[in-house]
Chains A and B, each alone.
Chain A
Amino acid sequence: MQAGTLSTFLKRGAIWGFILFELIFFSVAGAFLSLSDKAFMDLDNMLRLFKQSAPIGIIAMGMTIIMINGNIDLSVGATFALCAIVLLDSLTWPIFAGLGDWVIPVSWALALLTGVLLGAINGLIVWKTGVDAFIVTLGSMLGYRGLVFMYNGEQPTSHLNWTLVDFAETQFLGLHTATWFLLAVTLVIWFLMTRTIHGRNAYAIGDNREAAVNAGIRVGPHMMINFMIIGFLAALSAVVFYSESGSVNPNDGELYELWIITAVVLGGTKLTGGAGSVISTFGGVLAIQLLRKGLGHIGADTSTVNLVIGLILIAVLYLDRQLNRKGAEELKI
């Protein structure tokens, strides 16, 4: 095997190797340290793990496209919260009172539309002004959060619709509704990125924007569509999560962007764009959730989880640099 193929193989497989390592480590360590007598690899535990990965995982799929595109979106947490408010609030609007349970699809549609709209605003600004996506979404992260607060002050917005709760708690073939959504989104985005022209263009633009422009790709609209996709997914994530919980605080979704970016980077997507894979992001999401759950299982508290995830993120960045052949060819400076 050539060195190049080997390193590619290592990089591709790294996240799954890491997940395997986590599973073994927490199973073994859990047997000695855990306070509960249940095994870590318990089936219920693993099913819950998938379900708990869903809110972050669904958005992470969108973030993968955005980052492959060479952009970044810091506003997803605020978008998530705003869509959740639209969802829960619109369920109680008097106009829809006559609809009975048919209000649910209407509210879902409204929430998803809000997400698309917020994404479109980001995308349009990036496209038309040429301001870097980091700054645009840093601004809208503040701005959208302001809109969240303006909607209902500092009060939580709550509404429990039991039909929705039942739907969210259904288990089909053993998997929860949220898990099905995560899997479906992963599949669709995977298809989009590997089997369509849009996906190929995303890689091309992220790899070399100038060349993509010269090749006739309409970069602006393309990026705007991607921002609309991530807005949609942030809304979908909110829809899935808040259908069950039924109450949203104005601070919900804060720091989501950090967890999501961590998951995507763990999955091997480059910040500079042009490289990355949806399936690896799925691995990254699972790895983070496993870590949180596993550390909890062996009795560590939140502080350790934060510490470990931060250090792992840096370690992954370092290892990736060492494994990356392209790095060796660069100027030694």
Chain B
Amino acid sequence: MAQLTKSDIGGFLARQGILVAFAVFIIGFTLANPRFLDPDNIMGVIRSSAILGVMALGVTFVVISGNLDLSVGSMMSFSTIVVLDLHDKLGPTLAIPAMFAMTLCLGALIGFLVGYLKLNSLIVTLGMLSAIHGLTLTYSGGKNMDIADKEGTWFSVFGQGDALGIPVPILLFVLLAAFLGIVLAKTPFGRKVYAVGGNGVAATFSGIRRARVVFTCYLASAFCVATAGLLQASRSMGSQNTVGQGLELEVLAAVILGGASLLGGSGTIFKTVIGVLMLGFIQNGLLLVGLQFYVQYVVTWVIIILAVWLDIAAKRGTLWSPIA
């Protein structure tokens, strides 16, 4: 029989602290406003988190492989604008695959630069953030995009429809999360992603083609971004060309909150989903309590730092950093 010692409890708190904190938040919010646990509210939160969540799934792959993707926000603006524009020109059936193809091309470009040319992913995706933003502005001519005939198209089904009684955005988010979760946890490719992120040199010597794995991770990220763009476009049926601005950092916050290390090699899809939901519920709870939307920024700040700190502290065994 294992004896529960004080350090065990400390270790548990440090490892699962973020879930404990989440539970405290939920209880607090529920006491403050019983509507928080209303099924409608819960569905609403998950639904509005779906776009961010879908993007976070792809970024999880990139982060586990030891890289960063700061370009997802402006890439999402790009795919939203493109699909809205092509919708009126080609019809939805052609517009959607065309938009996916174009977004995947951008993902492939980043994957080539980071994977095959081995350039620093932070700088490359920072550059692509700016470049894709410019591309979107050029494409749209600086104007907002709107679907001309909003009633006579089935395009709204992705953002606003229901299937089997579940809103389609949630369904897509869950399906994509399940699929990518299985890919990451149960397939050889998933193990390669962890290997490359954990120790790139060792992975190379074990015969893993690192460049190809990194390349595929960025493709996966671009695919998720394209899906998010589709959801966004279909939900609002029109969009500004800066719709995704700043999302890259929120996505990264969710992934980090889920416990993925920016050094690579750790994290799971499930944890990322938890991170996404946590951000969504905290945001919603603060609004229900009657606080302004910007209070969530400060709360998110505190939570991110605490989450990462506790995670690191649990790994190194001391609360405070050993840096002199």
Contact = CB atoms under 8 A, between A and B. Distances in A.
Interface of A: 74, 125, 127-132, 134-136, 138-147, 149-150, 153, 213, 218-220, 254, 258, 261-262, 265, 271, 301-314, 317-318, 321, 331, 333
Given A150-B298, A310-B126, A317-B123, 9 more contacts: A140-B301, A220-B321, A302-B142, A311-B131, A314-B113, A314-B128, A318-B117, A321-B117, A333-B200
Most chain A beta-carbon contacts within 10 A, residue among B130, B137, B201, B320: B130
B90 interface: no
A138 B83 CA distance: 31
Contact of B305 (A136, A147, A310): A136
Most chain B beta-carbon contacts within 10 A, residue among A145, A147, A313: A313
Contact of B123 (A130, A220, A271, A308): A271
B60 to A, nearest CB: 16
A220 B323 contact: yes
Contacts of B127: 262, 309-314, 317
A279 to B, nearest CB: 21
A138 B305 CA distance: 9
Interface in B66-105: none
B126 A258 contact: yes
Given A143-B300, A262-B126, A331 B321 contact: no
Nearest to B310: A129
Contacts of B309: 129-131
Interface stretch (B21-29, B183-191, B288-296): B288-296
A132 B321 contact: no
A138 B295 contact: no
A318 B123 CA distance: 11
9 contacts: A130-B322, A145-B294, A220-B321, A262-B126, A262-B130, A271-B122, A318-B113, A318-B117, A333-B204
B305 A129 contact: yes
A330 to B, nearest CB: 9
B192 interface: no
Nearest to B120: A271
B85 to A, nearest CB: 15
Contacts of A144: 301
**Top 4 closest A-B pairs, CB basis?**
A310-B131, A143-B301, A146-B297, A130-B321
Contact of A304 (B113, B124, B138): B138
A114 B100 CA distance: 46
A302 B137 contact: yes
Contact of B321 (A128, A261, A301): A128
Contacts of A150: 292, 294-295, 298
B253 interface: yes
Given A127-B323, A139-B304, A317-B120, A307 B113 contact: no
B312 interface: yes
B134 A306 contact: yes
A280 to B, nearest CB: 16
A310 B134 contact: yes
Given A138-B304, A303-B142, A318-B117, A310 B262 contact: no
A150 B210 CA distance: 46
A310 B132 contact: yes
Given A135-B262, A143-B302, A321-B119, A219 B324 contact: yes
B119 A314 contact: yes
Interface residues of B, number: 55
A253 to B, nearest CB: 13
B249 interface: yes
B297 A149 contact: yes
A145 B296 CA distance: 10
Contacts of B253: 138-139, 142
A132 B304 CA distance: 12
A331 B268 CA distance: 30
A146 B122 CA distance: 25
A264 to B, nearest CB: 10
Contact of A143 (B210, B292, B298, B312): B298
A146 B295 contact: yes
Nearest to A74: B249
B168 to A, nearest CB: 30
B129 A258 contact: yes
A314 B127 CA distance: 6
B135 interface: yes
Contacts of B123: 261, 265, 271, 313-314, 317
A267 B299 CA distance: 36
Interface string B251-264: 01100100000110
B296 A132 contact: no
Nearest to A134: B262
Contacts of B297: 142-143, 145-146, 149
Given A303-B134, A307-B138, A313-B126, A131 B312 contact: yes
Nearest to B71: A310
A308 B252 CA distance: 26
A144 B138 CA distance: 32
B10 interface: no
Contacts of A129: 305, 308-309, 312-313, 320-321
B34 interface: no
Contacts of B308: 129, 131-132, 135
A304 B122 CA distance: 22
A66 B82 CA distance: 38
B144 to A, nearest CB: 14
B63 to A, nearest CB: 12
Contacts of B324: 213, 218-220
Contact of A303 (B138, B200, B249, B298): B138
B173 to A, nearest CB: 23
B212 interface: no
